[in-house]
Structure 1
Amino acid sequence: MKLRIRHDTIYRYRRAVSLQPHRLMLVPRGSHDLTILSSSLDLSPKADMAWAQDVFGNLVAAASFALPTDMLAISSEVVLEQRALAWPIYRIAPGAHAYPFAYSQEEMADLGALLRPQYDDPEGKIATWARSFIAGSAVDTLSLLKDINAGIANAVVYRMRDEEGTQSPLETLSIASGSCRDMAALFIDCMRHLGFGARAVSGYLYDPDASSVDAGSTHAWAEVYLPAAGWIAFDPTHRRVGSANLIPVAVGRCNAQIMPVIGGYAGAAEDFSGMEVRVIVEAL
């Protein structure tokens, strides 16, 4: 499947302000089932751009601005080929078919912080909730992960949030609602409390059943590492497993590390008048 992604972000200010350096993560990650065919990134006003890869291998553009402006427009367009299967078969190492299992010492060292919960759980509520899905002394590993993925969708109502940041897993469970990034953060900490290596993913969602105008959006989900099978995508917002219709842009230890645009300006808070975001994901 060949897709075109158009992502436009516009920031408006009530007077000309000095823009601080911005960090942009807008180019998807290529993989065995995703090939980038072309990409472009345009900014107005023009910026000095420097490209690099961060510690996770994400492609990051650092933009520096010379002149004050009352508007910043960021436009990204990518054409790619997505070959992820709708019903993938994961070839998990025999020793990891049943939970609990142990990662190798090499895997433990490499996973590092991706094994440690991101948020405080002083009373063990998240850990207890995650363990409630374990039905016996030994359970099928993939079935357990699927059950927790679906369990979050049952326990939490999706709610679009314009506020910045991510709710803590305790807050998401308590109020029983949250955005896709809140639900992903809850899933990730559940995984880590159970001893799994898990990471946050940001990117785009393509919905082939929607109209061409509404077929795409920015999205957040999670990935869990299983020996031999590697990183497996879990999207609790939509109860989905696997990378079909998901286009990853960046991975990280937590959502705060993988926001599409990070930056600021020198001026008063009231100088900012608003922002607009438009995302179009369409099949070619």
Structure 2
Amino acid sequence: MSVIYDLEHITTYRYQNPVTFGEHRAIFLPNMGFGGRILSYSLETNIPCEMRWMMDTLSNNVTLLTFSQPAKELIVTYRMRGEHFGIPAIADFPLDHRAEEIPVQYTPDEWNDLSSFIRPHTEDPEGHLAAWTKHFVAGDQDNTLDVLHRMMDAINQTLTYQGREVEGTQSPAETLRLKSGTCRDYAWLMIEALRRLGLACRFVSGYLYDSALDGGEVGMTGSGATHAWVQVYLPGAGWRAYDPTNRITAGYDLIRVAIARHPGQVIPLSGSWFGETGDYLNMDVHVSIRKLATLPEFDESQAIPMSTPL
């Protein structure tokens, strides 16, 4: 089964007086892989703009925007229609024996490829993160999936989700101290904790689709918005999704756009402007995701053999 959906992401910056804009960097277009396909997309701005597309070091799709005139308002509108095949359950991909218990044993080739995702990125001078992490491992050998689920559940159940308009991501120690955070803070805490257990983890930025919104109901935390979660590399299963904000590991809710070693690498839209300090008024972000159709599973009995001429 797959889901066809429409996505719209509109970012608006407002200023007291006309300002000029430096280069902006947009990361909106998903790198779908086997998880789906892009049917159509567009990126528009309200003022003249030159767009250049590139892939960054992690193969994320990046758009570089160069503006040619000043304005009091900058509006960047991204639209996409996509097909999402969903994230299969971990049971569909049994772990290699060397991944069943912590510490996971990576091969030399895996270690070379994954080392930047295994090394912790943040400092922990007072040891609060390390102490918190130790609570999830009882002895020399712990079932890997049990540890992952215990940590995900602990973040979901013991911390308070608190949205904020200030850009950026809290340090894991700050999230533990405040006992609250956004989806980005939750994901970053789990990533840096798991890295201290020797697991390869990466930060994922994307969107959270929630079918409840289609019926006008109250959705999941952070639904209908940009979202962040964790991917953990487990030999035999590959990169597996863990969303501590909503306790999601499979299904159709998570639509991946980009991956990173740390949150600062995948800000959806970033750039500079030039004017007086008091010119900046505010920023507004509107995201909507609407399901158009659900397609049935592919019936292999109806497939045309490769040797049959069309």
Normalising by the residue count of structure 1, what TM-score does the alignment of the two structures yield? Answer: 0.96
Structure 1 unpaired stretches of 5+:
none
Give the structure 2 partner of residue 259 of structure 1: 267
| CA-CA distance at 1:152 after TM superposition | 1.0
Deviation sequence 1:148-194 (CA, Å, 0-9, x none): 11111122110001111111111101110001101111001011010
Matches within 5 A, 1:15-94: 15-85=17-87, 87-89=89-91, 90-94=93-97
Give the structure 1 partner of residue 152 of structure 2: 149
Whole-angstrom distance in 1 between the partners of 2:271 and 2:104: 42
The alignment covers a number of residue pairs equal to 284
| CA-CA distance at 1:219 after TM superposition | 0.6
Normalising by the residue count of structure 2, what TM-score does the alignment of the two structures yield? Answer: 0.88
Identical positions, percent: 37
Secondary structure of 2:73's aligned partner: strand
Secondary structure of 1:240's aligned partner: coil
| CA-CA distance at 1:239 after TM superposition | 1.5
Residue type at the aligned position of 1:71:
E
Check the 8 A contact 2:90/2:240 in 1, yes or no: no
| CA-CA distance at 1:85 after TM superposition | 4.4
| CA-CA distance at 1:91 after TM superposition | 2.4
Whole-angstrom distance in 2 between the partners of 1:85 and 1:107: 23
Whole-angstrom distance in 1 between the partners of 2:271 and 2:103: 42
Give the structure 1 partner of residue 172 of structure 2: 169
Give the structure 2 partner of residue 179 of structure 1: 182
Whole-angstrom distance in 2 between the partners of 1:145 and 1:55: 28
Between 228-237 and 78-87, the greater mean CA deviation after superposition: 78-87
Whole-angstrom distance in 2 between the partners of 1:41 and 1:281: 16
Whole-angstrom distance in 2 between the partners of 1:71 and 1:177: 33
| CA-CA distance at 1:46 after TM superposition | 2.0
Which of the numbers 128, 133, 145 marks the counterpart of 2:131? Answer: 128
Whole-angstrom distance in 1 between the partners of 2:288 and 2:210: 11
Check the 8 A contact 2:102/2:197 in 1, yes or no: no
| CA-CA distance at 1:35 after TM superposition | 1.2
Between 236-245 and 53-62, the greater mean CA deviation after superposition: 236-245
Give the structure 2 partner of residue 220 of structure 1: 228
Deviation sequence 1:122-156 (CA, Å, 0-9, x none): 23221221121113332221121111111111221
RMSD between superposed Cα atoms in Å: 1.5
Secondary structure of 1:62's aligned partner: strand
